[in-house]
Chains A and B, each alone.
Chain A
Amino acid sequence: MNRRTYNAAAIAAEIAVPVAILVAWQAWTVQAQDPKFPRLSTILVEFREMWLFSQFELHVVPSLTRIGAGFGIALALGILLGIPLGLSRWGRIIAMPHIEWWRAMPPPALLPISVVLLHSIENRQKIAFIAFFCLFPILLNTIDGVRGIDPTLIETARSYGMRGFERTRRIVFPAALPQIFAGMRTSLSLAVIMMVLTEYFSSTSGVGYVLLISKNTLQLAPMWAAIVLIGVLGYVLNLLLILVERRVLAWHRGWRAATAQ
C-alpha cells in the first residue's frame, strides 16, 4: 500500500470510527427500549431544546462564571507565588510540605468543610473551592518551570544590568511559560470537575444543579443532555486553551518543532 492510499484510508478511519460509535449507540438504545438509556436522537433533541439557548443563561452562564473566576484566581496566585518559590531554595523548603499536603488531598473530602467554613453555597464557596484545587497544578508547574531555566540566561541578563523585576518579567516569566501552560491545561480540566462537584453537592443554579435535579425527579433525557453538555464544555474549554497556547507560545522552539512534524 503506498503512502497516498494509506493516508486516505487513515483519514477515512478517523471519520468512520466515531460515526460507527454514534450509530451503534443509537441502534443499541433503540433496540434496548430502556428508559434509563434514552435514544441518542432523543438526547440530542433535548440538548438543543435545553441548551440552545433557553436555559443557557439560567444554568450554563453561572457555571462558566464560576469556572472562569476560579481558574483566573488560581492562575494569578499560581504565577505570583510560583515565580518567587522557583527562585528561592529556602522558600521552597518552607512551602513544599504545605503544598505537597494540599495537592495530595482528595478535593471532595473538603466539600462539606468548604460549606461550613465559608457559610455559603453560592458563588463565594464555589469559586473559592475551584480556585483552591486549580492552584496546585499551576503553582507546581510554575515552580518547576522557573527552576528549569538555564542559569546562563539569568546571569547574562544580570551582567547586562537588568534589575530584579525587569529580569523576572522579561526573562524568567517567558522562559517558564511553556511549563505554566502545561499546568493550566491540567487545572482547566480540573476546574470543570470541581464545578460539577460543588454544584452537585449543594447549589441553586448551574449545570451540576440541573444534573442533580433531573436525577432526583427521574427526568432521564434532561439528565443525559446535562452529561453531554458537561462533556462538550470540557472538550471546548480544553480546545480553546490549546488555541491560546499555540498563539502565545508561537515563539517557543519546542512548539515550532512539534508543529513542524
Chain B
Amino acid sequence: MAAPDLASTVAVGRTRPTFATAAGRLAPFVVTVLSIAAGLAVWELVSRSGLLSEDDLPAMTTTFNELWSMMHTREFWVAFGETVRGWALGLGIATALAVPIGILLGSSDFANRAFRVPVEFLRPIPSAALIPLLFLTLGTTLKSEVFLATFGAFWPLLVQTIYGVRDVDPVALDTARSFGVGRFERLYRIKLPSAIPYIATGLRISSAVSLILAFTAELFMGTGGLGQIMNVAESFGLTVQVYAIALATGFLGLAIYVLFSAFERWALRWHPSQRVTAK
C-alpha cells in the first residue's frame, strides 16, 4: 500500500514526465478499452460458436449491422425522437413540480410533518401499477406516457429537494437573518444554493426513472416510440431487431446517465464529499 504512494509522489516531484508515468496514466484507459472489446468479443463468440443459438442471441456484428441499417430509416428516428420527447416532458414537468413543492415542504417543519405520511406512502408505490389505469383513462396517448414518466420522476426529486433544504447550515441562515436579509432573499441566496447538490442527485436518479417509464409506457400501452417498435418487432419474431432496439435504448440510457452525472459532479464540486474522494 505504502510503496506505490511513495513512487507516485516521487514521480510528481520530477520536472519532466517520464515514460513510466505516462504509461501509468495511459494503462487504465487501455485496459478499459480492452475490457469493452473483450466483452463485445465474448458476445460474438457465444453466438457464433452456437453456445447460445443465433436465433436466441444474434451475434454482436449482426446486431450492430441491424442497428446501423435501422439508423438509415425515418421510422427509427421518429421513434427515437418520440421516446426522447416523452422522457424530456416527464422529467421537465416532474422538476417543475417537485422542486418548488420540496422547497415548501422542506422550509416548514409543520408542512413537512403534515405531509410526511402521504409522501412516505405514495413514494414507494411502483408507478408500473398505474399502467392499466392510464390505459383505460388516457389511452395510448402521449399524455399517458408523460403522466407515467412524471409520476415516477417526481418522488426521488421531491425527497432529495426536501433533504437538501433541511440540510442548510443553520449558522448561515441565522447570520443572514441577523443581518436583516429578507425571507425571499434567504431562500434564494442560502437555501437554494445549499440544496442544489441534492437536487442534482435527484435529477440524476429521476432522469433514469423518467426514461424507464417513458419506454415502459411505449412497450405496454403502444404509445409511439422505441418501446412501441420493439413491441412490434417482438410480435413479428424479428429477434435481431429487438436486440438492435435494446442496444439503441441502452445507448440513450448511457448518454442520459453520463450527462446527468457530469452535472451532478459539477453541482457538487465545492462539496466536502468531493474533496475527500479527490485525494
Which residues on A are within 8 Å of B, measured CB to CB?
6, 9-11, 13-14, 16-18, 21, 36, 90, 93-98, 100-101, 103-113, 116-117, 119, 151, 155, 189, 192-193, 196-197, 200-201, 208, 211-212, 214-215, 218, 220, 223-224, 226-227, 230-231, 234-235, 237-238
Residues of chain A with a CB closer than 8 A to B116's CB: 14
- Residue of chain A at shortest CB distance from B114: A13
- Residue of chain B at shortest CB distance from A229: B129
Task: Report yes or no: A105 in contact with B249, Cβ–Cβ below 8 A.
Answer: yes
- Residue of chain A at shortest CB distance from B31: A93
Contacts A/B (CB < 8 Å), 5 sampled: A17-B117, A36-B137, A100-B257, A113-B243, A223-B133
B136 CB–A CB distance under 8 Å: yes
B45 CB–A CB distance under 8 Å: no
Task: Report yes or no: A13 in contact with B113, Cβ–Cβ below 8 A.
Answer: yes
Task: Report yes or no: A200 in contact with B114, Cβ–Cβ below 8 A.
Answer: no
C-alpha spacing A93/B116, complex, angstroms: 42
Task: Report yes or no: A196 in contact with B39, Cβ–Cβ below 8 A.
Answer: no
B36 CB–A CB distance under 8 Å: yes
Query: Closest Cβ of chain B: how far from A98's Cβ, in Å?
Result: 6
Task: Report yes or no: B136 in contact with A105, Cβ–Cβ below 8 A.
Answer: no
B272 CB–A CB distance under 8 Å: no
A117-B56, A238-B124 known; A13+B110 contact, CB < 8 A: yes
A interface footprint on B255-269 (CB within 8 Å = 1, 0 otherwise): 011000000000000
One of B35, B115, B133, B246 near A109 (C-beta < 8 A): B246
B245 CB–A CB distance under 8 Å: yes
One of A13, A94, A113, A238 near B242 (C-beta < 8 A): A113
Residues of chain A with a CB closer than 8 A to B128's CB: 193, 196-197, 200, 208
Main secondary structure of the interface of B (DSSP, over half): helix
One of A98, A189, A196 near B129 (C-beta < 8 A): A196
Residues of chain A with a CB closer than 8 A to B211's CB: 106
C-alpha spacing A93/B30, complex, angstroms: 10
A90-B31, A113-B243, A227-B129 known; A107+B212 contact, CB < 8 A: yes
One of A97, A107, A193, A196 near B32 (C-beta < 8 A): A97
Query: Closest Cβ of chain A: how far from B35's Cβ, in Å?
Result: 5
Residues of chain A with a CB closer than 8 A to B39's CB: 97-98
Task: Report yes or no: A189 in contact with B215, Cβ–Cβ below 8 A.
Answer: no
Task: Report yes or no: A211 in contact with B35, Cβ–Cβ below 8 A.
Answer: no
A14-B117, A104-B250, A116-B239 known; A109+B230 contact, CB < 8 A: yes
A interface footprint on B229-254 (CB within 8 Å = 1, 0 otherwise): 01100100001001101100110011
C-alpha spacing A155/B1, complex, angstroms: 9
C-alpha spacing A100/B251, complex, angstroms: 11
Query: Closest Cβ of chain B: how far from A152's Cβ, in Å?
Result: 11
C-alpha spacing A112/B56, complex, angstroms: 11
A98-B35, A189-B126, A192-B126 known; A108+B113 contact, CB < 8 A: no
Query: Closest Cβ of chain A: how far from B276's Cβ, in Å?
Result: 9
C-alpha spacing A105/B255, complex, angstroms: 10
Residues of chain B with a CB closer than 8 A to A111's CB: 219
C-alpha spacing A182/B57, complex, angstroms: 35
- Residue of chain B at shortest CB distance from A105: B250
